[in-house]
A and B are shown apart, each in its own frame.
Chain A
């Protein structure tokens, strides 16, 4: 059974007096446990698709069901709850809070949870260990390398044990060696059963993913292999 179902999703952005069609009637299904790369030329709508999947960006038309829940019909608060429990987001720019330490950045999603402080710290340290930053809890992002920052962002994305990880060009700013390490990290998370969907331009990443969505001109082409 598919975990995510997009039914005729359209997204229009206001563009001057008219509208710009960023996504045009996109329908795809994504099964639980998939590892998908979204590729396509710049401006084709990849990030738009990702934010729609991430319950951050309501589509102009169509429905998206995640775990059979029509997510955009939920109230704003329930959407936030949904994000918190289902989705981990990793951005190209990582968006770490610069004045919070690695540990505190990872604690952010837990700040509104009901876990007691001790439990929160335990969870955050666990995921930091998991991404290989067991010795850098108290470093500020400015004192971390690009790859380490990516790991913090990934740790923050997985601290709530989400079922889906969405990543927008997570290796875009990394050298190929570090990029490969990060991809391996995503792969191992995928092996644990997390559905991983990432936008990437990098051809090197093709060896890790199982499926490729090629976005072109607001339309999606689903390929079993990278094209």
Chain B
């Protein structure tokens, strides 16, 4: 007989407690996971459904030099030299991109910035807009805002710029344009990224298009998609995700408490048993190990069951069709599940510490006295 046998025996003897522990934890876990699945599964559909909402993708260009012109005129000697090394015509390239890869803006480290508006590419960067002397050169960032007029007078957080008050921005000709603002950026705020909005659903899709368009240079590009960009801050989708995140965070606390309560419940009333074990030579750490095995066994099986249960539930929700924007196919089930598993495990371990130390710290003599 070993500790594991003893632990399992304890679990099965305390059937009601163990079962309550198991069911409560596994059901809570599967509810949380289902919420996660739903929020992830609805994400892309929501994006498709709301035309306004666009993901922001970032292409990192590694040591890529851009042959940049400003309305046909090379921009800056130094830069031109560098930019000439670019192995393809970026302007042509971005013009040729399909509609779904609408370019928002381009920027390059220490060089300049190109913005794309409709089919016109506007280079902005290491040069002066109208009215500013040529020797006071600026870097400019271009931002396309969805609701430029509506936002006028308000402060908006723009990536790379921080909080910016929307008013009196100049475009490259010194006048406001519909929905693009330009803002001088500090020398320290370097960009080496190309940003563009896209209504494609995944980085894979974008990669596909870029592979077709830029077969020879794809290795130079590093594509990462993100929904956490400030650009999406005001979107409905973001609010929804926040809402789910909020629910999930709220549920972690009761789970922690549940683990704790059940941890204490499985040692409650066993003071005498632990005392016997101490008397026959168990060390404190042997008791700790015993309780740990019990907690870990119920905990891990219930977390596991919760995860396993949530997956068919997600399919069920899809097939019933109560959530029209929800498709399983969009969910990265293994990733979400394994992250949830690890998180739940950590919570389990943390909340097990108190009951474990309570059980192992019992004074056997006192335990016998109080129980009898």
Contacts and interface: CB of A to CB of B under 8 A. Distances in A.
Interface stretch (B61-69, B281-289, B329-337): B281-289
B210 to A, nearest CB: 62
Contacts of A69: none
Interface residues of A, number: 30
A57 B366 CA distance: 9
B73 interface: no
A120 interface: yes
B276 A97 contact: yes
A99 B13 contact: yes
B9 A91 contact: no
Nearest to B279: A89
Contacts of A125: none
Nearest to A166: B279
A81 B282 CA distance: 8
Given A56-B364, A56-B365, A97-B273, A120 B1 contact: yes
Interface in B137-153: none
Interface in A97-122: 97, 99-100, 104, 107-112, 117, 120-121
A80 B278 contact: yes
Contacts of A80: 278, 281-284, 286
Contacts of B162: none
Given A76-B283, A99-B9, A108 B277 contact: yes
B286 A112 contact: yes
Contacts of B219: none
Given A56-B364, A95-B276, A97-B273, A111 B6 contact: yes
B272 interface: yes
Nearest to A121: B1
A93 B371 CA distance: 11
B280 A109 contact: yes
Contacts of A91: 368
Contacts of B1: 104, 107-108, 110-111, 117, 120-121
Main secondary structure on B side of the interface with A: helix
Contacts of B51: none
Nearest to B281: A84
Contacts of A111: 1-3, 5-6, 282
Contacts of B282: 80, 111-112
A57 B365 contact: yes
A90 B10 CA distance: 23
A159 B285 CA distance: 22
B365 A156 contact: no
Contacts of A99: 9, 13
B193 interface: no
A54 B279 contact: yes
A112 B3 contact: yes
B2 A83 contact: no
B154 interface: no
Contacts of B9: 99-100, 104
Contacts of B272: 95
A86 to B, nearest CB: 9
Contacts of B275: 95
Contacts of B6: 108, 111
A135 to B, nearest CB: 20
A180 interface: no
Q: B3, B5, B275, B365: which has the most chain A beta carbons within 10 Å?
A: B365
Interface in B245-295: 272-273, 275-286
A79 to B, nearest CB: 9
A99 B7 CA distance: 12
B78 interface: no
B188 interface: no
B372 interface: yes
B276 A84 contact: no
Contacts of A81: 281, 283
B365 A77 contact: no
A27 interface: no
Given A97-B273, A97-B276, A109 B281 contact: yes
A128 B22 CA distance: 37
Interface in B90-134: none
A160 interface: yes
B276 A83 contact: no
A205 interface: no
Nearest to B6: A111
Nearest to B2: A111
Nearest to A52: B365
A51 interface: yes
Given A51-B365, A107-B1, A111-B2, A83 B281 contact: yes
Contacts of B280: 83-84, 89, 108-109, 156, 160
A1 B336 CA distance: 69
27 contacts: A51-B365, A56-B278, A56-B279, A56-B365, A77-B283, A80-B282, A81-B281, A83-B281, A84-B280, A84-B281, A95-B272, A95-B275, A95-B368, A97-B273, A97-B276, A99-B9, A104-B1, A108-B1, A108-B280, A111-B1, A111-B6, A111-B282, A112-B3, A112-B281, A112-B282, A117-B1, A160-B280
Given A77-B284, A84-B280, A112-B281, 14 more contacts: A80-B283, A81-B283, A83-B280, A91-B368, A93-B372, A95-B275, A95-B279, A104-B9, A108-B6, A111-B2, A111-B5, A111-B6, A112-B3, A112-B282
Interface of B: 1-3, 5-6, 9, 13, 272-273, 275-286, 364-365, 368, 372
